Structure formats: C-alpha cells, structure tokens
C-alpha cells in the first residue's frame, strides 16, 4: 500500500533569506517552473518547511504560512503567491472529453495530437534539459539509471508478483491485505510455502 504522506511544504528564499513564495508539492515539484515564476537557480534557497505530510495537511500548512507572511498582490505582505493556498489540483485527472478537446485543438492549430510533438516545444525542452543536467534527457543521467536498475532489482521484476498471485489463487490462499507487493520481501517465501503445500 503506497503512503499518503508524500507531500511537503516548501519556500523559495530571496538572497536576504526572506521567503518570496510558499508552495505545496510532492516528488520534484519544488524544482519545476511555475506558471508565474521559476524556482531560484541556487538550490540552497529552496527550503523544505515540513515533509511527510498528507495532501490535506500540506494544504493547511501552506495556507497558514501564506497568511503569516502575507501576499504582495493584495498588499498584506511579502509573498508573490497569487492565492491564499490550499487550492491546488494535486492528483487531478482530465476527463476523456477534456483530452479529446485538447487533442482537437492541437491538431487544428499545430497539426499534432499533443503539445510535446510540436518541434519548437521539443527543442526548448531539449535545450532546458541540456542546461540543467548536461544531457538531452534526465533519463540519461547515471544517477537516474542507477536508481532505475536498483528499483528493478528490488522489485524482482513484476514476474514475482504475478507468480505469487497465480499460485495463491491455485492453492486457495489470499495474499495478506495492505502489503506493497513490489517491495515486501516475503513474496518469495510465500511462493515457496504455497508450492510445498
């Protein structure tokens, strides 16, 4: 079972150490460009205020901190945030109709089905990757490759999970509920036990 405590609240700091933006995210969100601004180039000016939060907890903390420092656009403080927080779209899934509408738009205006297929966009993304990582795509970084190979070894590929489910079904046993099938080490033992009985 994957953890719901994967969110964090972060701040972008000015050179004088005061925050100018407060955000909520998960994964590498704090390092990505935002609609109205970019993260600071100096990574030491990106500060994690709280980690291992649920999405609801992250939204609540984000709102509290934004209200503490105040927003420039409404004259209450020093942050460039344009909302009071807690209104992100984490985990939002587009409907089939929205996807079709977007696809039609790109076909009509650019002759492609997706924004990533527009040559100018591809060139810009490629040059950005080269500037940031020194390679055309982050998947070509050694650190990324070693992480992938480590995960593949850890998972023992998907075959182990598949085998455990099939054997459990044949012998009429159930896999314990609430386990992360791809990371829990008991799967090989479970397969052996079921094969013996």
The whole-angstrom separation of Cα 88 and Cα 71 is 17
User: What is the reported pLDDT for 8?
Assistant: 93
**Minimum mean pLDDT among 68-72, 119-123, 193-197: which range?**
193-197
Q: How far is CA 148 from CA 8, 65, 109, 143, 153, in A?
A: 24, 36, 37, 9, 9
pLDDT-derived band of residue 161, with 50, 70 and 90 as boundaries?
low
User: What is the reported pLDDT for 155?
Assistant: 44
How many other CB atoms are there within 10 angstroms of residue 135's CB atom?
A: 14
User: What is the reported pLDDT for 19?
Assistant: 94
Q: What would you report as the CA-atom Rg of the chain, rounded to the nearest whole angstrom? A: 23
**What's the whole-model pTM score?**
0.48
Tell me the average pLDDT across 158-167: 68
Can you point out the beta strands (E) in 14-129? Answer: 19-26, 46-53
Highest mean pLDDT: which range of 37-41, 163-167, 179-183: 37-41
Is the Cα torsion angle 78, 82, 86, 90 positive or negative in sign?
negative
The whole-angstrom separation of Cα 100 and Cα 81 is 32
């Amino acid at each position: 079972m994957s953890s719901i405590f994967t969110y964090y609240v972060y701040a972008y700091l000015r050179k004088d150490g005061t925050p100018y933006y407060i955000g909520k995210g998960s994964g590498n969100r704090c390092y990505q460009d935002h609609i109205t601004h970019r993260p600071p180039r100096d990574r030491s000016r990106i500060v994690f205020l709280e980690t291992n939060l649920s999405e609801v907890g992250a939204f609540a903390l984000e709102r509290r901190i934004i209200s503490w420092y105040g927003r420039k656009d409404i004259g209450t403080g020093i942050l460039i945030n344009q909302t009071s927080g807690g209104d992100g779209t984490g985990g939002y899934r587009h409907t089939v109709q929205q996807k079709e509408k977007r696809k039609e738009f790109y076909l009509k205006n650019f002759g492609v089905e997706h924004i990533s297929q527009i040559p100018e966009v591809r060139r810009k993304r490629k040059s950005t990757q080269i500037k940031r990582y020194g390679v055309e795509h982050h998947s070509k970084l050694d650190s990324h490759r070693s992480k992938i190979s480590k995960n593949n070894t850890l998972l023992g590929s998907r075959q182990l999970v598949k085998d455990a489910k099939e054997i459990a079904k044949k012998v009429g046993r159930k896999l314990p509920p609430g386990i992360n099938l791809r990371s829990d080490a008991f799967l090989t033992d479970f397969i052996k036990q079921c094969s013996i009985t």
